[in-house]
Amino acid sequence: MPATEKQTEILIVGGGLGGIAAALAALDAGRSVIMTEQYDWLGGQLTSQAVPPDEHSWVEQMAITVRYRALRDGIRDYYRRHYPLTERSRTWRELNPGAGWVSRLCHEPRVAVAVIDAMLAPYRASRRLEILQPYGPVGAEVEGDRVRAVRLTHRDEETEITVAASFVIDATETGDLLPLTGTEFVTGFEAQSETGEPSAPSEAQPLNMQAVSICFAVDHVDGDHTIDKPANYDFWRAYHPSFWGDRLLSWRAPHPRTLEIVERSFTPNPDDDPLLVNADQRLSPGDTNLWTFRRIAARRNFVEGTYDSDITLVNWPMIDYFEGPVFGVSEEEAQRHLAGADELSRAVFYWMQTEAPRSDGGTGFPGLRLRGDITGTQHGLAQAPYIREARRIKAAYTVVEQDLSLAVRGDKGAVRYRDTVGVGMYRIDLHPSTGGDTYIDVGSCPFEIPLGTLLPQRMTNLLPAGKNIGTTHITNGCYRLHPVEWNIGEAAGALAAFCLDRSLPSQAVRERDDRLEDYQATLERAGVELRWPEIAGY
């Protein structure tokens, strides 16, 4: 296999939201960066996984970083510059192109790709940023407690690149560098005796992880667009998890918060007014009609005739695959489960086209079409599986449920950390898992991100930048969403640059107040909010 060697100051493995944010922070601090990505698009869960942003209710006003806000504003500006919006939608300050109920900014993934590419373009032009794509990690060279280099291979060709770096950031979706570098990590459920968490099991369950989902986009037009019956369709058609209340291929499913079995509807192309959609999860989950729940293009936002149909993103309960984990097992077993997730999504789509109940009493929606052009694939599904849970470092500090649970903390609010590097907010939202568990949904308080969660207990130049930080299986459920992952990435990139400027190992920053305060000041100057505001009178 032809091999190449490269050298950089900071190597970022993974081009998802955390990796992009880490790169921007490090580059703005004057450092050189090589970033890798195994899929065709940068952006991770926002693009190649095709998931509209899950964000807190106050996202338009506060509690996201300046760079993340620039991403959101850039997406809206892209639509205003390049899409034939109606005048009413064009002047809508909080434009929601898809008018989906899950988020105030539901959009086509390719638009986010364009904005991300534009944000990185100046650094690529100056050659301070090099992006190796599509490359993924397969090995590492480690000297003591330091990673010296990471070995990468091309996804489609027999080429190999080894990149040596002073700091290495693991921004992969499943914490791939942790086992390759010998970094201590955990997976799945921790035991309650270890964490004290009210929602944890009595014994550790390292292979009990949240479901993965392979999402897909659809529209609905005249004609019969039914795909060939998937080979595994009969298996999934009869599949009936014990806690589901019905077959998986059904509009009926447990309500995540109450576990009551509820029936959702599915009505393509309702003639609704997109400007009346109020995507506030405090008021309603918005999933009564699954068509509008994660809709990413609302045709009434655009000049008549632009779209033949709305486009909606299928990331619904019935495509959650929890038959087994996609990492932490043999490569053969992991690939079998990834194939199973793909098969489930195709079975769900075929069921929707042929057997799904309609409100008029009939069955099937043959006018549904897979929109692989929207997700950037020939096969019609998203490029990458939606990963909700990763390997997690054994960290200097691990956030536990008691730190932020509303039931535990009450009016005190979440624990405030001396070493905060950002903020976030989302319920502890855990999907069904590979151990056969149903949803876990716990109310949480607005929380901070402690620096200790980014620091491995031993490795001195390896940092996480995604779902691989020091959370538990439980608290990962609220630290895994789009703006929090971005904030984590910014903090990691800024920390690597800060340590390089001062020739420090990463742990040294947290050990002394003066260093920590200097580092936190660099984050604040870059527009990272370290604490939630004190709000009185509500």
Note the pLDDT tens digit of each residue in 381-404.
Answer: 999 999 999 999 999 999 999 999
Note the pLDDT tens digit of each residue in 221-278.
Answer: 999 999 999 999 999 999 999 999 889 999 999 988 888 998 999 999 999 999 999 8
Q: What percent of the chain has pLDDT over 90?
A: 94
Distance CA 535, CA 529 (A): 15
The structure's pTM equals 0.96
Note the pLDDT tens digit of each residue in 360-380.
Answer: 999 999 999 999 999 999 999
- Residue 509: which of 526, 492, 524 has the closest Cα? 492
Distance CA 2, CA 434 (A): 39
Cβ contacts of 204-209, under 8 Å, gap ≥ 24? 205/435, 206/328, 207/325, 207/328, 207/329, 207/434, 207/435, 208/433, 208/434, 208/435, 208/437, 208/473, 209/325, 209/328, 209/389, 209/433, 209/434, 209/473
Rounded to an integer, the average pLDDT of 523-535 is: 93
Residue 291's pLDDT band, with cuts at 50, 70 and 90, is very high
Distance CA 435, CA 334 (A): 15
Q: Is residue 443 a contact partner of residue 384, using CB atoms and an 8 Å limit?
A: no
Task: Evaluate if residue 283 carries a pLDDT over 80.
Answer: no
> What is the rounded radius of gyration, in angstroms, for the C-alpha atoms of the chain?
22
**Which tokens hold the place of 288?**
């009564």
Q: What is the mean pLDDT of the chain?
A: 96
What is the pLDDT, as a whole number, of residue 87?
97
* 3-state SS, residue 233: helix
**Which tokens hold the place of 220?**
């609905």
What is the pLDDT, as a whole number, of residue 39?
98
Q: Is residue 340 a contact partner of residue 323, using CB atoms and an 8 Å limit?
A: yes
What is the pLDDT, as a whole number, of residue 284?
73
Kind of pairing, strands 252-254 and 146-154?
unpaired
What is the pLDDT, as a whole number, of residue 230?
96
**Which tokens hold the place of 291?**
């068509």
Q: Is residue 333 a contact partner of residue 356, using CB atoms and an 8 Å limit?
A: no
Distance CA 115, CA 111 (A): 6
Rounded to an integer, the average pLDDT of 519-534 is: 96
Task: Evaluate if residue 537 carries a pLDDT over 60.
Answer: no
Distance CA 142, CA 132 (A): 21
What is the pLDDT, as a whole number, of residue 141?
97
Note the pLDDT tens digit of each residue in 412-452.
Answer: 999 999 999 999 999 999 999 999 999 999 999 999 999 99
What is the pLDDT, as a whole number, of residue 535?
64
Residue with tokens 């549904």: 368
Residues in Cβ contact with 449 at an 8 Å cutoff, skipping those fewer than 6 apart: 420, 421, 422, 423, 424, 469, 479, 484, 487, 488, 491
Rounded to an integer, the average pLDDT of 46-70 is: 95
- Residue 482: which of 425, 428, 531 has the closest Cα? 425
* End-to-end Cα distance, the chain: 63
Distance CA 424, CA 414 (A): 11
| Partners of 162 in beta bridges | 5, 151
Note the pLDDT tens digit of each residue in 113-138.
Answer: 999 999 999 999 999 999 999 999 99
- Kindly report the three-state secondary structure assignment for every residue of 424-479: ECCCEEECCECCCCCCEEECECCEEEEHHHHCECCCCCEEECCCCCCECCCCHHHH
Residue ranges covered by each domain of the chain: 3-52+107-189+388-525, 216-269+309-375
Residues in Cβ contact with 480 at an 8 Å cutoff, skipping those fewer than 6 apart: 388, 389, 467
Note the pLDDT tens digit of each residue in 167-214.
Answer: 999 999 999 999 999 999 999 999 999 999 999 999 999 999 999 999
- Residue 97: which of 416, 310, 337 has the closest Cα? 310
The domain 3-52+107-189+388-525 having CATH identifier 3.50.50.60: the answer here is yes
What is the pLDDT, as a whole number, of residue 536?
55
Burial code of 415-432, b = ≥16 C-beta within 10 A, e = fewer?
bebebbbbbbbbbbbbbb
Q: Name the phi and psi angles at 9, rounded to 5.
A: -75, -45
Residue 486's pLDDT band, with cuts at 50, 70 and 90, is very high
Residue 538's pLDDT band, with cuts at 50, 70 and 90, is very low
Among 272-281, 466-475, 501-510, the range scoring the smallest mean pLDDT is 272-281
Q: Is residue 450 a contact partner of residue 437, using CB atoms and an 8 Å limit?
A: no
Q: Kindly list the distances between the CA atom of residue 429 and the CA atoms of 58, 315, 401, in Å, as whole numbers in the listed order.
A: 18, 15, 12
Kind of pairing, strands 3-13 and 33-36?
parallel
**Which tokens hold the place of 298?**
């609302």
Note the pLDDT tens digit of each residue in 3-39.
Answer: 799 999 999 999 999 999 999 999 999 999 999 999 9
What is the pLDDT, as a whole number, of residue 81?
97
Q: Kindly list the distances between the CA atom of residue 220 and the CA atoms of 175, 215, 292, 343, in Å, as whole numbers in the listed order.
A: 38, 17, 13, 22
DSSP label at 83? S
* 3-state SS, residue 185: strand
